[in-house]
Chains A and B, each alone.
Chain A
Amino acid sequence: MADIHLHNVTVAYQRHPALHHIEGCFAAGSLTAVVGPNGAGKSTLLKAIAGRLPLADGHIELAGLKPRDIAFLPQQASLDRDFPLSVLELAMLGHARHAGVFGSFGKRGLAAAEAALAAVGLEGFERRRINTLSGGQLQRALFARVLVQDARVILLDEPFNALDARTVADLLALLHRWHGEARTVIAVLHDFDLVRRGFPQALYLARQPVAWGSTESVLTPENQLRARHMAESWDEDAALCRIPDQAA
């Protein structure tokens, strides 16, 4: 179906691997939290799946998934918050992958954006400029954009960072709604309690998978210790990696 298979995936920055020979699979319709220390390659993994980064090695098998089937919620720091957009326009951007470069957004895009804003609790905010929003409101608006895209795979990069409890609860409910609709959801998170409460599957990443499976089997003190050792080993003079490329 629409499983996402990772085959020997390696992504490197200046030849140093941020993701190293990753094998594994996100099953279609699964809800997975990606956890791990800073520099573990969590965001890199999401960007690689979204096709936003070139792979140094291996490949990602997206059985039958087109770019429009993958929605991506970026970290807010990667956006220009002073860009002259209204909240409604931001939500409508989710429709761009359907409309293409030339196609009209039409009534469907508009209706979808209005419904999505209502779903994330931003009714009445349509005409507000995005530079007047709080961090939480902007996050809701970005969730609305994901809703509008109506994608089968949803990738969320630290979706609950610096949000108050109510916003987290609202947005987590949205995640569970997507899970109930059999969409594949992968989210990068730091809050282990939240992962235990809300996510059935987890991937503990430290450039390579430390553990991958049901959340309670992944979030163990032993794995935490192993991850810390694995993630902090950037070596200026690292030798050439000799692991053969199975994909070739």
Chain B
Amino acid sequence: MKTQRFAAFPIKPRDRRIMLYDFLIQPFGEFAFMKRSLVACLALALGSAPIGAILMLRRMSLFGEAMSHAILPGAAVGFLVAGFSLPAISVGGIIAGLVVAWAAGAATRATDQREDASFAAFYLIALALGVTLISTRGSSVDVMHILFGSVLAVDEAALLLLASVATLSLLILAAVYRPLLMDAFEPDFQFGGAIHHFIFLGLVVVNLVAAFQAMGSLMAVGLMMLPALAARYWAHSLPGIMLMATGIGALAGYGGLLLSFHANLPSGPAIVLVAGGGFLVSLLFGRARGLVQLLRRQPHLEA
């Protein structure tokens, strides 16, 4: 099939169609692992892109990054106890992430420390603990596994976890949506207490852990933040930003998997690179105050 394609030259339009099909769709049709990873990426985009948008609006864009490090010691303990077992790593990661998120959140609310400062302190402690754990017991292969994950190794169980997390995230987000956003707009508003903030921090942790298996701890946050940050250059309204972010996230997942498949690159970084490309394009060409639009010096209007 392949040799035929390159032998026929010049390419006829019909063959070009076949080439596009080979390039864009066939990898997902032919290989079950590609199919699974695509579904995994779509589930991830669905759950974590809206969360990224809310993080951005709460001025917590770097929080996901901190959290992705904070889950490391828990995941390491799970890994060392049970090997590359999804339940062990997930449970460990969620426990470590929740401890750090809630401890830092509580420290912020109880003292004068700013939230970003509290999180910096707590995640650094957790990260050092995690690296220590892995280096005393594990091999460098283990470290690579945990840092970069492997979306192509997602199995049925992992898929089920990702889908459940995405579903639960959207439902819980809907429940805390109003207080969460009112308090982002006006931090003093005091609507429905502080519980929604801690629920939201928990959601971030659970989503990062879900992404952990597929994307690795370093890349997990990429699919959460980059689409949301890109969406800000296209949409003006809050629902618009969230929908846009989900769409960009899904496209990045698809594009990144293709890139990874054809160029033989590790899938996690490939997906995040595509998302990053999406962000750069948005930064330049976004209709909502992108760079080109700002620099074009369009003539001013009458009123």
Contact = CB atoms under 8 A, between A and B. Distances in A.
Given A84-B241, A102-B175, A96 B188 contact: no
Interface stretch (B66-74, B79-87, B178-186): B178-186
Nearest to B57: A83
A97 B191 CA distance: 8
A86 B185 contact: no
Contacts of A182: none
Contacts of A83: 57, 184-185
Nearest to B179: A101
Contact of B185 (A47, A50, A52, A85): A85
B89 to A, nearest CB: 34
Contacts of B277: none
Given A47-B188, A51-B190, A84 B57 contact: yes
A129 interface: yes
Contact of A79 (B59, B175, B186, B236): B186
A129 B237 CA distance: 8
Nearest to B177: A101
A50 B186 CA distance: 14
B237 A84 contact: yes
Interface in A60-110: 74, 78-80, 83-86, 93, 96-97, 101-102
B29 interface: no
Interface majority SS (helix, strand, loop, mixed), chain A: loop
Interface residues of B, number: 22
A86 B184 CA distance: 15
Nearest to A101: B192
A101 B185 CA distance: 16
A78 B237 contact: no
B186 A78 contact: yes
B127 to A, nearest CB: 30
Interface residues of A, number: 19
- Most chain B Cβ neighbours within 10 Å, of A47, A50, A78, A80: A80
B32 interface: no
A109 to B, nearest CB: 12
Interface in B46-68: 57, 59
B191 A78 contact: no
Nearest to B193: A101
B188 to A, nearest CB: 5
Contact of B182 (A78, A86, A93): A93
B184 to A, nearest CB: 7
Contacts of B240: 84
B238 interface: yes
A174 B297 CA distance: 41
B59 to A, nearest CB: 8
A129 B288 CA distance: 12
A83 to B, nearest CB: 5
A164 to B, nearest CB: 18
Given A51-B190, A78-B186, A84-B236, 17 more contacts: A14-B112, A47-B188, A52-B188, A79-B185, A79-B186, A80-B184, A80-B185, A80-B186, A83-B184, A84-B57, A84-B237, A85-B185, A93-B185, A96-B178, A96-B182, A96-B191, A101-B175
Interface of B: 57, 59, 112, 175-176, 178-179, 182, 184-188, 190-192, 235-238, 240-241
